[in-house]
Amino acid sequence: MSTLIIRPGSLADTGNACDLLNEIIAIGGSTALTVPLSRQELGDWVMGQGCVWHIAERDDGTLMGFQWIGPWGELPEDTVEIATFVRAGQTGQGIGSKLFEATKTATRTMGKNWIEAEIRSDNEGGLIFYQSIGFRGNTKRDGKMTDGTPVEKTVKYYDLR
């Protein structure tokens, strides 16, 4: 059994992360993203101003997932958005939870009090995951997929105070 390593993501990781995310997008059903991203687009997102991301990789270098936090939309100053992506077929093994331990530390270091997760309401696995790591709330919000298709989202918050 290989060891899972959690570390900060870098520009060098964006290619593998982009491949992982684009596979999830192609499968559909769990993200509001509907169009594959380029490495540049993903890099601009995860490496953007005020953003932090971590990756989970096996000791053989296989990327198993990544988690991002950063400003999004019109969030209050003390709040960041979170996004979690785990390799298709590998969910439910604790990868996202291990990433979240690093994410909580990074969020506190940034001086933030809240983490917001905006999850597609039909993404049962995502809703269960965020609930299982301590996110609370069940606010519904109208949203859109990147192709313009309306989708209901569920908003949950993690309190770092």
CA distances from 63 to 17, 32, 59, 96, 114 (A): 7, 22, 9, 13, 27
Q: Kindly indicate the confidence band of residue 119, based on its pLDDT and cuts at 50, 70 and 90.
A: very high
Question: In the predicted model, what is the mean pLDDT of residues 109-131?
Answer: 95
Question: How confident is the prediction for the chain on average, in pLDDT?
Answer: 93
| Domains defined along the chain, listed by start | 4-159 (3.40.630.30)
Q: From the CB of residue 102, how many other CB atoms can be counted at a distance below 10 Å?
A: 18
**Can you give the three-state secondary structure of 97-111, one letter per residue?**
HHHHHHHHHHHHHCC
Q: What is the pLDDT of residues 148-157, one digit of tens each?
A: 889 899 999 9
Q: Kindly indicate the confidence band of residue 2, based on its pLDDT and cuts at 50, 70 and 90.
A: confident
CA atoms of 126 and 17, how far apart (whole Å): 19
Q: What is the pLDDT of residues 49-97, one digit of tens each?
A: 999 999 999 999 999 999 999 998 899 999 999 999 999 989 889 999 9
pLDDT for 1 equals 54
CA atoms of 11 and 24, how far apart (whole Å): 20
**77: three-class secondary structure by DSSP:** coil
Percent of the residues in the chain that have a pLDDT greater than 90, as a whole number: 79
How many Å is the maximal CA-CA distance in the chain?
43
**What phi, psi does 114 have (nearest 5°)?**
-135, 145
Residue with tokens 């506190």: 108
| Its pTM surpasses 0.85 | yes
